[in-house]
Amino acid sequence: MTRLVAVATASLLAFSLGACTSGTTGGGAATACNVGITMPTRSLERWINDGEQLQSKLKAAGCTVDLQYADNKVDQQISQIQNQIAGGAKILVIASIDGTALGPVLAEAAKQSIKVIAYDRLINGSPNVDYYATFDNYKVGNLQGTFLKEQLKLDSATTPINFEPFAGSPDDNNAKFFFSGAWDVLLPYVTKGTLVVPSGKAPKSNDEWTTIGIQGWASDKSQAEMDNRLSSFYSGGKKVQAVLSPNDSLAIGIEASLKSAGYKVGSDWPLITGQDGDKANVKAILAGEQSMTVWKDTRKLGDRVFTMIQQIVKGEKVEVNDEKSYNNGVKVVPSYLIEPEVVTKDLVQSKLIDSGFLKASDVGL
Ligand code: BGC
């Protein structure tokens, strides 16, 4: 009898899941494809785009979607996830704020057989993370490091170059990967003395990255840190010539600091890296205030997560392309990694505008 009920329930479920992905409407469809999305903050353009794009794709496919932003507050994100579980979500898509803080709430989700996709940032210390979809985070940092190495011609440089590195938020698992990718390229030149770090804030190894991390990826904090470094270590006409900024929000703060210290584009402005392709930063790239951004086409990430959801809903095997890089401390989380790309001034039109990622008018073109 129990077996019969189980079989009947399973086939009902299969029917409703199938109905959802094929886009047909029907009583069971909405319940089966019921997705809770939690994003860290509205303060960064990319998360707004990420959340809205995924939500509209899912809604167009007939799914029920709840999208929440947590103002970078961990407790708020946890209660949003609790509400989504209580509200009947069958799949959770989570871009975590603190990747180590979600164990208990995911244990609740697991009790109800809810599938969990870590979005962009890995969730650590929990067995209840089914999949991870992200960009190749190590490669993001590697592209930044390689860009600086090539632009500064580090292999043939004959005079030491003043350089200041920054790292991302200590609670964000991605920040470690960004830093490692860049530091694997740059640390040998710091060790050789080709790159000199007047502030002394040069981690001796990749593992020490949190010593230069900027909490919450906040622009005002990177600005204050850069102000501090410039006023304390750059007296007597010494100039910073290159800055490793792991993303665009930190770059904005660093650029504001350089402006207030009197640096001028075209004379003594340093090389500055970034990541995301935010509008303000693309404007800065066009104005010569930022040298590059590592562009992550968030539409591709949304498409990938949409595909994962469809595969989960249909009961198919979920496609991944990396089953070794992302160990969350409990298990290696099957991942799908997307390739990031470098965008410099001359590539803004062809990469960002022609692809429809930004409008020309967004960046004053
Ligand atoms: C994301 C970056 C973003 C940063 C700050 C990281 O986890 O991968 O794209 O710039 O968080 O929100």
Measured at the alpha carbon of residue 333, what is the angle toward residues 47 and 57, in degrees to the nearest 5?
40
> In ligand 1, which atom is closest to the CA atom of 174?
7
What is the pTM assigned to this prediction? Answer: 0.89
Residues with CB under 6 A from ligand 1: 44, 46, 120-121, 172, 174, 217, 247, 249, 275-276
- Alpha-helix runs per DSSP H in 170-277: 173-192, 219-233, 248-260
Protein residue closest via CA to atom 3 of ligand 1: 247
Q: Distance between the two ends of the chain, CA-based, in angstroms?
A: 69
The pLDDT value given to residue 9: 42
HSE value, Cβ hemisphere, 13 Å, CA-based, for 334 = 11
Q: How far is the CA of 134 from the centre of ligand 1 (A)?
A: 11
Q: What is the pLDDT of residues 203-220, one digit of tens each?
A: 999 999 999 999 999 999
Q: What is the pLDDT of residues 79-120, one digit of tens each?
A: 999 999 999 999 999 999 999 999 999 999 999 999 999 999
Q: How far is the CA of 146 from the centre of ligand 1 (A)?
A: 20
Does pLDDT of 22 surpass 50?
no
Q: What is the pLDDT of residues 229-242, one digit of tens each?
A: 999 999 999 999 99
Protein residue closest via CA to atom 9 of ligand 1: 276
> In ligand 1, which atom is closest to the CA atom of 44?
12
DSSP letters for 112-142: TT-EEEEESSPPPS-S---EEEEE-HHHHHH
Does pLDDT of 320 surpass 90?
yes
> In ligand 1, which atom is closest to the CA atom of 217?
5
> In ligand 1, which atom is closest to the CA atom of 249?
10
